Every structure is written in C-alpha cells, then in structure tokens.
Amino acid sequence: MVTYLDAATAPLRNTGQIRLYGEEGFAGMRKACDLTARCLDELVSIVAPGVTTETIDRFVFEFGMDHGALPATLNYRGYTKSSCTSINHVVCHGIPDNKPLKDGDIVNIDVTYILDGWHGDSSRMYPVGTIKRAAERLLEVTHECLMRGITAIKPGARTGAIGAAIQTYAEGERCSVVRDFCGHGVGQLFHDAPNILHYGNASEGVEMRPGMIFTVEPMINLGRPHVKVLSDGWTAVTRDRSLSAQYEHTIGVTETGCEIFTLSPKNLDRPGLPA
C-alpha cells in the first residue's frame, strides 16, 4: 500500500513513502533546478567536435562551485565525476573521459546540483557538429516523448499515465522505450519514491498528489529497447548498438497540474533542433 507523508517531518532517507512538499520545498527546488538549467544552457556553446567529455565535466564542477552548489553525482556510490555524458549508443550513466567528441555524435549531458540541500536534476541532448537526419529525428521524438509525459501529470491521475503517453508516442514513431531505468522522486534526496516508469498503462502506478516532486527522463532507442551495463558498473549501452537519446526534467505536482522546475531560461531545452 502506498503512503504519503509531509516532507517537512519526514526522515532524510528513502523509506518508500512518497513525500509531499510545501511551498518552501518548491521554492528550494526552483533555485536548485534553475542553476542546473543555467549550466545546461552554458554547455550549448561548449559542446563541439574535438572537445572532451572530461572538459565538459570540469566545467560542470566549476560552474557549481562558483554558485555554491555541489554536483550530486560526485562520489555518489563510488562515481567519481560531476556529470554523466552518454554518447551515441550509450543509454545513460556514461563516464566523462579524455576521448574527444566527433562531428556527427549526439551526447546526453546529465547534471544534478545540490543547492542549500535541494537537488536540481536535468539532462539534455546535444548534437555535435552536423548530425545525420536519423539522429536528429531521434532527438525530436525523444523530446516530444518527455513533453507528452509531462502533459499527463495532474492531481488524481496515476503515474502510469506518464509512461503510457511516452510509450504510445515512441512506438508510434517506430522507436522503443528503455525499460531498465526510470524517473524517480527527488527533492532533499537525490533518489526517492516513487519510481516513474516510461511505459505502461494509464490506470497503473501511484496516484499523483499536489506536492509530489519527481523526474521524468525517458530513454528512447532507434532500435530495440534492450540494454546492458558495461564492466565499469555504470555505463549502459544498447545491446544492438542503435542510437539512444534522453531528455529529463524535474517536475512538481500542483493543485491544477504541474510545474517544470528545470526549463531553460534561454529557451534552449532542445539544443541544435529547429524551434
């Protein structure tokens, strides 16, 4: 049975219960998520052929430090970087390194900052140089999946409605939805209840209530949905080596619908794609 509790009195650990945040929590999340969004905006001018993902990661760390924030991934369960950089057939959790990006690559950059105890979590896809039409189409489909999932968020609906909207659109566009990873509750904890599946039926999942905060972060493949995790314990790739893409927003459920905390201040939520 699902239980909900007031986030103001909840212990700072994942108990499986769903936290309901008040205005103080929403205010804290707006600040943390705005910082993350501004960092992702700045990366638009940095991502280019020849740039290494280690350079990108160093920027993410320094940008956070300059603004009084700590990257949540740094030393999280042994992870040693400030961001995740997932290129081409890497689905998620790619580890930044000194290999340069190449013209035609697509890269997801996932950043979470902790600011005043609040976690702002978001990711975007970035085209590197000139990309093929198939890659561009995948980015367009994936972002549309994200936004259709967000449109399903409202009090009284179930979280399955998010996944149903994403799956219906993705499969209608002859793409597939990764099942192995999901969105999650976020706020004062990096990962919290509930899990947000990106597939399923609208009648499934938990009831959404005002005050819930979670991520929606669909991973969409051009090929089949199956993935495998490499020997580093983090990097997930498509088994058929097809291209994969992901966009992510942090969302708060309101009395009338939802608030997207991680929208780009510069309207760069889809870098490199037509408006």
* CA 182 to chain centroid: 9
User: Which whole number is the average pLDDT over 119-148?
Assistant: 98
Q: What is the pLDDT of residues 215-248, one digit of tens each?
A: 999 999 999 999 999 999 999 999 999 999 999 9
User: Which whole number is the average pLDDT over 97-123?
Assistant: 98
Q: Where are the alpha helices (DSSP H) in 67-202?
A: 133-151, 160-172
Buried b vs exposed e over 71-92: b needs ≥16 C-beta within 10 Å?
Answer: bbbbeeeebebbbbbbbbbbbb
- Assess whether pLDDT exceeds 90 at residue 201: yes
Annotated binding site: 93, 110, 121, 184, 191, 217, 248
Annotated binding site for a divalent metal cation: 110, 121, 184, 217, 248
Report DSSP state, residue 211: T
Strand partners, 20: 6
Element (H, E) at 252: strand 249-253
- Assess whether pLDDT exceeds 90 at residue 142: yes
User: Which whole number is the average pLDDT over 159-182?
Assistant: 98
Annotated binding site for substrate: 93, 191
User: Which whole number is the average pLDDT over 101-116?
Assistant: 98
Predicted local confidence at residue 224, as pLDDT: 98
- The span from the CA of 207 to the CA of 230, in Å, is 35
- The span from the CA of 50 to the CA of 101, in Å, is 5
CA atoms within 13 A on the CB side of 244: 32
- The span from the CA of 176 to the CA of 170, in Å, is 6
Predicted local confidence at residue 275, as pLDDT: 76
What average pLDDT does the structure give for the chain?
A: 98
Nearest to 27 by CA among 156, 153, 188, 149: 188
User: Which whole number is the average pLDDT over 102-119?
Assistant: 98
- Assess whether pLDDT exceeds 90 at residue 76: yes
- Assess whether pLDDT exceeds 90 at residue 164: yes
The string of DSSP codes covering 135-159 is HHHHHHHHHHHHHHHHHT--TTSBT
- The span from the CA of 272 to the CA of 275, in Å, is 9
- Assess whether pLDDT exceeds 80 at residue 179: yes
Q: What is the pLDDT of residues 31-56, one digit of tens each?
A: 999 999 999 999 999 999 999 999 99
Predicted local confidence at residue 1, as pLDDT: 82
